[in-house]
Amino acid sequence: MPQPRKDTYFRKDRNAYYGRYRTNTGVVHRKLLELKDTTALSKVELTQKLAERYKEEHPTFTPLTPATITQAAELWLATVAVAPRTRRDYRLAVTSFLSVLPKTSLSELRASDSSYLIRELTANGRSNATIHSYLRTTQIFLHWCAEQEWMPLLKLRKPTQEKREARVYSAENIQRILEKLAEDKRTNLFRMILLMRYTGMRAGEVWSLPLRHIQLATKELHLRAVPELAWKPKKGKEATLPIVEKLATFLKTDLASRGEQERFYLDKGNGEPAYVGVAQMSRALRPTLIALGIYRQQKSLHGFRAAVITMLLQEGVPPVVVQSIARHEDLSTTMRYYSRAEENTRAALEQL
């Protein structure tokens, strides 16, 4: 059982003392004293002063621990700061977990309780990826409950997930795809593939990219939150990507041809996104891949990002540099592509 946190604490980044309160809307933090106002106080006087200020600033809410897991889940879903679409996914996952859980109290939960959800989803023919997605969401919810001190931190058990080989397109196939899209006048798909080819951007980043975030003057792409689409970069991490010369040449011509109403890189022509989301982008590309005989069901769009990472490693770019370009949080993620790059290099040498 984790030790309860102190009611008062010091924040170095704010140079102030804060109070921590448990309320029926979660944990509330309030500033009690500025550091500059405590320099003349002894340790005993400071403790007394903080105790007085803590009582004065106490919220009027009545502290509450939810009576049931369902009540805690509703409170979490009402307060979690995510996009509406993500909130719907969260609700589906947690509701699925609660529907098969033969327990009602947070104190009754155990790490092995994930087995109820795993059995149910497996029986319904759900994939391992879906099962892991549901468990990740449920784990986020339980972690939040632990932060409220309603229960000890609990880590759900997960089934072993088979690591699938990343779908990677060759440079030749990417060129064939671009030529086919140009021939068929699939302009937005052509734009999408070309941008991913020269930046390694994620599909969601391309889908949400507004024209205002493309800065040709400085040859930079800004990955920032897009409020009108309720979209944020992965884990909230903003980034600035360089625009290489080949991409800059295309963008200069492409942007000059845009209509006055267009606002997005992938635009219908009236200021609305050309696709509802990444899934629709993938479906739209499918006929082209099938026509070229290179369609595979798994992660067809991620294959373009994977191709960039693999080609960079093949060219001898240091893995840490590739990690920075791909914006991988962990180097081990980048290194998963390293074996593929070595295989491609070996296969090329065998042709000599």
The span from the CA of 114 to the CA of 95, in Å, is 13
Select the more confidently predicted residue: 181 or 40: 181
Closest CA to 205 of 252, 250, 254, 240: 240
Structure tokens at 190: 């052509």
pLDDT, position 31:
85
Residues 49-98 have pLDDT tens digits of 888 888 887 765 555 677 789 999 998 888 787 778 888 999 999 999 99
Residues 133-157 have pLDDT tens digits of 999 999 999 998 888 888 888 899 8
pLDDT-derived band at 177, boundaries 50, 70, 90: very high
- Helices in the chain by DSSP H: which ranges? 43-57, 69-79, 84-100, 114-123, 128-147, 171-183, 187-199, 203-208, 245-256, 278-292, 302-314, 319-326, 331-335, 338-350
The span from the CA of 332 to the CA of 60, in Å, is 48
The span from the CA of 42 to the CA of 89, in Å, is 52
Closest CA to 50 of 63, 28, 36, 31: 31
pLDDT, position 11:
85
Select the highest-mean-pLDDT range: 52-66, 125-139, 163-177, 212-226: 212-226
pLDDT, position 299:
61
pLDDT, position 82:
77
For the chain, which domains are there? 8-57 (no CATH), 69-147 (1.10.150), 171-350 (1.10.443.10)
pLDDT, position 137:
93
Instruction: With a cut of 50, say whether residue 4 has pLDDT above it.
Output: no
Closest CA to 275 of 195, 180, 208: 208
pLDDT, position 264:
97
pLDDT-derived band at 346, boundaries 50, 70, 90: low
The region, left, alpha or beta by phi > 0 then psi within -120 to 50, assigned to residue 322 is alpha
C-alpha count within 13 angstroms, C-beta hemisphere, residue 91? 12
pLDDT, position 159:
80
Select the more confidently predicted residue: 340 or 221: 221
Instruction: With a cut of 80, say whether residue 317 has pLDDT above it.
Output: yes
Structure tokens at 226: 């897009």
In terms of residues, how long is the chain?
352
Exposure string over 132-147, b if 16+ CB within 10 A, otherwise e: ebbbebbbebbebbee
Average pLDDT of the segment spanning 269-297: 90
Least confidently predicted of 118-122, 175-179, 259-263 = 118-122
Average pLDDT of the segment spanning 191-211: 96
Contact 285, 189 (CB under 8 A): yes
Please provide the DSSP assignment of 273-297 as one string: BSSSSHHHHHHHHHHHHHHHT---S
Contact 285, 301 (CB under 8 A): yes
Average pLDDT of the segment spanning 159-180: 80
Residues 8-24 have pLDDT tens digits of 888 887 888 888 776 65
